[in-house]
Structure 1
Amino acid sequence: MPRQADHDRRRRQIAEAVWRLAVGGGLEEVTLRQVAAEAQVSARLLQYYFGTRTDLLLGALKILNDDAEHRARERLALLGETPGMHAIVRGVLLELLPVDEERRTRHLVYAAYFVRFLTDPDLAGVARDAPRALEDLVAGLITQGQDTGQVPRRVDAAAEAAFLVAGAEGLQSSVLLGQRTADEAVAMIDHQLARVFTPTPA
């Protein structure tokens, strides 16, 4: 009987085929047969692992999100054992920007999913909940910054978190469209963070 690692490898092989097709021309006209051909597996095997087309898109998106979370944790770990809240929030927000090839490809796949998010209720739920969860994370980090004197008490953590996440998502689109460079987007994030993370005088 195939090991779980073999199943996971095959699921990833199929998911990566979905991502390539998404980046190459979107997902609206992509069929199970096309994904099977791109992944070099049979249509029967693809359906064994993912079932319907919606199940396939959800499954490929979950693997992409799991990858993104894993890579984000790795990058945050590189900040050291005791990074300040400023550095952590900055690291979280930079995950939303296409600042390197890995993140650029990921965000192109997300962009290809966008129309499906608008029209498919199952996918819409995934897209609808993600920003709020990220806002809650950033708000919690800003609140911790207030508790340690890195952020003034007058700052509204929830409002700033919502603004920062929405701003980073908007910059993501402008970088993908070539309207701004990645460096310009990072500079704008840094400008906003400098406004929030003003140490409380001793």
Structure 2
Amino acid sequence: MPKRVDHDLRRRQIGEALLRIASTRGLQAASMRDVAAEAGVSLRLVQYYFHTKTELLLGALGYLGEQLSARVEQSIRALGTPPTPRGVIYGTLSAILPTDAEGRRLTRTYAAYYALALAEPALGAAHGATYPDLLERFLAGHLRTAQQAGQVDADLDTPTVVAGLLALTNGLGSSILGGQRDGDAALAILTYHLDRLFDPKS
């Protein structure tokens, strides 16, 4: 009897091979042949599941989003239940910071996608904002909950505040990777800004 192939698993195997290349070598020079070699499969098989490199890039980006989501969920759970709005926001932003090996891998991989979007603006314009937009909406929802509970100034422009927190977090992540500060220092800076947001008198 012929072996049954789990197509979702095979697609993920190929997509995650691309993510490994992205985190170590970047994406601009990565070919589908390179991905096949990294995944331990034939080029023909890669082309069977992903007809173009763009399709492969976008498919792998979806897997990367799943990996970050799982890290965020784990970070929030670690803070205890039920999670408060501040806990969700802190858990999410601290999970984005590259404070450990997994965080550094995720940050480097996203950076590879950003670099590719700079080289290929059409790719970034069409698909580059999908996951950042989802993340902003997620955080904005929890910040509004905090406003309704009187934990945060009700007059704050929620989307602008969230965009600023994400920009801060991304900048801190770059400073960790660049050796300017360590993870503890970055977390202290993030905590300082959240303290001021959730207690304006502090």
TM-score (norm 2): 0.88
Q: Write the deviation string for residues 77-98 of structure 1: whole angstroms up to 9, x where unpaired.
A: 3333322211111011112211
Equivalent position of 1:149 in the other structure:
150
Equivalent position of 2:188 in the other structure:
187
Letter of the 1:167 partner, please give it.
L
Deviation at 1:173, TM superposition (A): 1.4
Separation in 2, partners of 1:60, 1:113:
10
Q: Report if the CA contact (8 A) 1:26-1:112 is conserved.
A: yes
Equivalences for residues 39-118 of structure 1 within 5 A: 39-118=39-118
Q: Report if the CA contact (8 A) 1:85-1:144 is conserved.
A: yes
Residues 1:171 and 1:3: Cα distance change in structure 2 (over 3 Å) = farther
Separation in 2, partners of 1:155, 1:8:
44
Equivalent position of 1:28 in the other structure:
28
Q: Report if the CA contact (8 A) 2:14-2:46 is conserved.
A: yes
Q: Report if the CA contact (8 A) 1:155-1:196 is conserved.
A: no
Separation in 2, partners of 1:163, 1:34:
37
Deviation at 1:186, TM superposition (A): 0.8
Separation in 1, partners of 2:48, 2:124:
21
Deviation at 1:101, TM superposition (A): 1.2
Between 1:43-52 and 1:150-159, the stretch displaced more is: 150-159
Deviation at 1:20, TM superposition (A): 2.0
Separation in 1, partners of 2:140, 2:104:
25
Considering only aligned residues, what root-mean-square deviation do their CA atoms show, in Å?
A: 2.1
Equivalent position of 1:167 in the other structure:
168
Gap runs ≥5 in structure 1: none
Letter of the 1:132 partner, please give it.
D
Gap runs ≥5 in structure 2: none
Q: Report if the CA contact (8 A) 2:77-2:83 is conserved.
A: no
